[in-house]
């Protein structure tokens, strides 16, 4: 099937509609929805109807535009203006100004580094297309990669292209995607599965949710291409039940794709068949771990099991299974469309392409960003993020969530890639990035993440089940001024032991927030223990005698 045929497929049955004169795009992803963007959308529609200009002007719901802290966001095309913090009372004024001078009061500057320093591949359609319309996706070259693959590429050629791109898993560990695909492809047997991991359990992370809500077809297309490459005919999307909007849009997307013959039996008229079903996760962080996720799909208790055997060899119901993250799959179609070499030209030597981050914490601009690998932390935090608000001083940035670490000022000019982050004691992780200023207590931060790991531990293995509880206990004593230096030594011993003896990644990385804060902010621990003082003034310390 050619791209032209694809587009024709879509327009079949639909009367040719003239392009509207003005299009008002309202973000309807979760962040803007939570500040009532649906009401804004309704008000705009009412306004157009009231003025009787609905046919030539259109209101459209789109996915995330990135600058969530300025939401609800509304973009007007072709005027090229974006409005921020829009409320439904602004509707009349926006409609009045269509094609006129933009409303100054509401204008969101888009020539700022927040927009210009980003590089969008995964998010290329986010905020532009209507996530509930397959036509929109196809209009922007959607499903052409799948059509191309089925038309004139062998499975091996697809794998070679992915390998050439240098794409690495975006679920945290950064395992080379091409290598994983080729392992599954080589695994014997006729039954294989493809699973998309959309469990996204890191506190504060919402990259995957945003992709699913803003551009669901991109993930389905990536999965279908993967299924063709490894020889699978059934796929599962494992989504957290806490993401109802993503689930709804995925259901719609699957239905639409099936209707157009882009999923299901004999895709694009070929012998290739691929079905996708959604499975809901019960919200346990550990169910994002691949073996636990598989157990959960099988209807068992979501607990990890020792690897090897890896899922590539022995996965869902014992069959070879490819499991990749949402963002990993979202990169596949552009790689096929533009070539592996194109993708490999972006980024650093060992980390190719872009990475989506959920920028949060003590920065002016929070939201979803996509940047080329190799960009420095300083550019992310100070240019894109706009620096620290309130004239406060930067202290550290936390990447990798509960498995990651805190990176201090001295490494601000380090490039963001898998290896560099590991060298300074953190990880790329799935893309959470929390900026902290001088008002954050690093021991308290470590305690927060340890609490998370303790609560989310599945309880199967001893070091993680009991070790995290013991480490949390010590951190609690440190932050309430009760601990001694020998308890700090015990904490370090436990970190070492839990890291090297736990069964799965949760336990193995649970000590990381403690280890990295101990590495760079040991003086803060000592102040709590010896002087009974919290330098950032966060922890409740016992009132000292004589004060």
Partner 1 sequence: MNQPVRVKTLKIDDRDVSGREDETILEVARQNGIFIPTLCHLDGLTSIGACRLCLVEVKGVSRLLPACVTRVEEGMEVYTQSERLQKYRRMTLELLFSERNHICSVCVVNGHCELQSLAQTLGMTHVGVPYRFPRLPVDASHERFVVDHNRCILCTRCVRVCDEIEGAHTWDVMGRGIDSRVITDLSEPWGDSETCTSCGKCVNVCPTGALFEKGKPVADRLKKRQFLPYLTMMREERR
The yes or no reply on residue 414 touching ligand FMN (CB under 6 A) is: no
The yes or no reply on residue 417 touching ligand FMN (CB under 6 A) is: no
Which of residues 507, 512, 524, 539 is near ligand SF4 by CB under 6 A? 507
Which helix (DSSP H) or strand (DSSP E) does residue 76 occupy? strand 74-77
Q: Find all residues with CB under 8 Å of 50, minimum gap 6, and list them.
A: none
Distance CA 138, CA 120 (A): 18
Q: Which stretch binds ligand FMN (CB under 6 A): 172-180, 314-322, 417-425, 491-499?
A: 172-180
Positions 299 through 318 that interact with ligand SF4 (CB under 6 A): 304
User: Can you tell me which residue has the tokens 């691929």?
Assistant: 274
CA dihedral sign of residues 54, 56, 60, 65: negative
The yes or no reply on residue 201 touching ligand FMN (CB under 6 A) is: yes
The yes or no reply on residue 488 touching ligand SF4 (CB under 6 A) is: no
The yes or no reply on residue 391 touching partner 1 (CB under 8 A) is: no
CB 66 within 8 A of CB 368: yes
Q: State the minimum distance, in angstroms, from the CB of residue 42 to ligand FMN.
A: 34
Binding mask 304-333 for partner 1 (x = CB under 8 A): -xx---------------------------
Nearest alpha-carbon partner for 218 in 63, 31, 347, 346: 63
The yes or no reply on residue 435 touching ligand SF4 (CB under 6 A) is: no
Binding mask 460-479 for partner 1 (x = CB under 8 A): xxxxxxxxxxx--x------
Which does residue 53 touch among partner 1, ligand SF4, ligand FMN, none (CB within 5 to 8 A, set by kind)?
Answer: none
CB 434 within 8 A of CB 394: no
* Residues forming beta bridges with residue 238, ordered by sequence position: 197, 279
Which does residue 490 touch among ligand SF4, partner 1, ligand FMN, none (CB within 5 to 8 A, set by kind)?
Answer: partner 1
HSE (side-chain half, CA atoms, 13 Å) at 154: 5
Nearest alpha-carbon partner for 296 in 306, 282, 310: 282
Which of residues 95, 286, 287, 514 is near ligand SF4 by CB under 6 A? 286
Positions 226 through 285 that interact with ligand FMN (CB under 6 A): 285
Distance CA 275, CA 183 (A): 22
The yes or no reply on residue 99 touching partner 1 (CB under 8 A) is: no
The yes or no reply on residue 203 touching partner 1 (CB under 8 A) is: no
E-strand ranges in 191-348 read: 193-198, 234-240, 275-281, 321-325
Which of residues 493, 519, 523, 537 is near partner 1 by CB under 8 A? 493
Which does residue 139 touch among ligand FMN, partner 1, ligand SF4, none (CB within 5 to 8 A, set by kind)?
Answer: none
The yes or no reply on residue 541 touching partner 1 (CB under 8 A) is: no
Distance CA 230, CA 224 (A): 10
Which of residues 165, 430, 457, 509 is near ligand SF4 by CB under 6 A? 457
Question: Which residue in the shown chain puts its C-beta closest to ligand SF4?
Answer: 507
DSSP symbols for 338-392? H-HHHHHTSB-SSSBSEEEEEEEESSSS-EEEEEETT-BHHIIIIIIS---GGGP
DSSP symbols for 275-291? EEEEEEE-S-GGGGSHH
HSE (side-chain half, CA atoms, 13 Å) at 224: 33
Q: State the minimum distance, in angstroms, from the CB of residue 456 to partner 1.
A: 7
387: left (phi over 0), alpha (psi -120 to 50) or beta: left
Q: State the minimum distance, in angstroms, from the CB of residue 394 to partner 1.
A: 34
CB 407 within 8 A of CB 368: no
Distance CA 442, CA 535 (A): 10
The yes or no reply on residue 296 touching partner 1 (CB under 8 A) is: no
Which of residues 92, 103, 245, 497 is near partner 1 by CB under 8 A? 497
Nearest alpha-carbon partner for 239 in 216, 260, 267, 263: 216
Size of interface with ligand SF4, in residues (CB under 6 A):
14
Nearer to ligand FMN, 147 or 286 (CB): 286
Nearer to ligand FMN, 172 or 513 (CB): 172
Positions 484 through 523 that interact with ligand FMN (CB under 6 A): 504-506
Which does residue 201 touch among ligand SF4, ligand FMN, partner 1, none (CB within 5 to 8 A, set by kind)?
Answer: ligand FMN
* Interface residue list for partner 1 (CB under 8 A): 284, 301, 305-306, 454-470, 473, 490, 493-494, 497, 500-503
List residues binding ligand FMN (CB under 6 A).
Answer: 169-173, 175, 197, 199-201, 285-286, 288-290, 323-325, 328, 430, 504-506
């Amino acid at each position: 099937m050619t791209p032209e045929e694809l587009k024709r497929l879509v327009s079949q049955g639909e009367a040719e509609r003239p392009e509207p004169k003005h299009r008002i795009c309202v973000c309807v992803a979760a962040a803007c929805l939570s500040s009532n963007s649906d009401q804004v959308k309704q008000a705009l529609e009412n306004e157009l109807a009231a003025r009787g200009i609905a046919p030539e002007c259109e209101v459209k719901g789109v996915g995330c535009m990135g600058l969530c802290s300025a939401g609800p966001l509304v973009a007007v095309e072709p005027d090229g203006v974006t409005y921020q913090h829009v409320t439904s009372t602004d509707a009349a004024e926006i409609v009045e100004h269509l094609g006129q001078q933009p409303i100054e009061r509401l204008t969101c500057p888009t020539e700022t580094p927040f927009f210009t320093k980003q590089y969008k591949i995964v998010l290329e359609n986010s905020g532009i297309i209507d996530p509930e319309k397959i036509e929109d996706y196809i209009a922007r070259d959607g499903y052409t990669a799948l059509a191309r693959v089925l038309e004139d590429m062998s499975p091996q050629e697809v794998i070679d292209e992915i390998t050439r791109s240098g794409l690495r898993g975006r679920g945290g560990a950064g395992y080379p995607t091409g290598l994983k695909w080729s392992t599954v492809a080589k695994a014997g047997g006729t039954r294989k599965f493809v699973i998309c991991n959309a469990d996204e359990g890191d506190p504060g992370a919402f990259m995957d949710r945003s992709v699913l809500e803003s551009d669901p077809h991109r993930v389905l297309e990536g999965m279908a291409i993967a299924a063709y490459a490894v020889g699978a005919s059934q796929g599962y999307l494992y989504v957290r039940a806490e993401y109802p909007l993503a689930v709804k849009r995925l259901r719609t997307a699957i239905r639409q794709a099936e209707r157009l013959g882009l999923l299901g039996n004999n895709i694009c008229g070929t012998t290739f068949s691929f079905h996708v079903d959604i499975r809901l996760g019960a919200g346990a962080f550990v169910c994002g771990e691949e073996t636990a996720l598989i157990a959960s799909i099988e209807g068992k208790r979501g607990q990890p099991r020792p690897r090897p055997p890896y899922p590539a060899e022995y996965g869902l119901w014992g069959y070879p299974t490819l499991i990749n993250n949402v963002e990993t799959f979202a990169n596949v179609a552009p790689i096929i469309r533009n070539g592996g070499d194109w993708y490999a030209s972006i980024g650093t030597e060992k980390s190719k392409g872009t990475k989506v981050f959920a920028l949060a914490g003590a920065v002016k601009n929070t939201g979803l960003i996509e940047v080329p690998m190799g960009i420095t932390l300083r550019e992310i935090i100070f240019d894109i993020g706009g620096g620290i608000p309130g004239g406060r001083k930067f202290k550290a940035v936390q990447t990798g969530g509960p498995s990651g670490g805190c990176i201090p000022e001295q490494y601000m000019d380090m490039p963001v890639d898998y290896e560099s982050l590991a060298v300074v004691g953190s990880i790329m992780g799935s893309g959470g990035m929390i900026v902290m200023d001088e008002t954050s207590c690093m021991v308290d931060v470590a305690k927060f993440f340890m609490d998370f790991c303790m609560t989310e531990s599945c309880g199967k293995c001893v070091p993680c089940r009991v070790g995290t509880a013991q480490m949390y206990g010590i951190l609690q004593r440190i932050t309430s001024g009760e601990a001694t230096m020998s308890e700090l030594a015990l904490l370090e011993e436990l970190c070492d032991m839990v890291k090297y003896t736990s069964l799965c990644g949760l336990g193995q990385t649970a000590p990381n927030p403690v280890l990295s804060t101990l590495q760079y902010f040991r003086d803060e621990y000592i102040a709590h223990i010896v002087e009974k003082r919290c330098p950032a003034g966060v922890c409740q310390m016992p009132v000292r005698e004589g004060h």
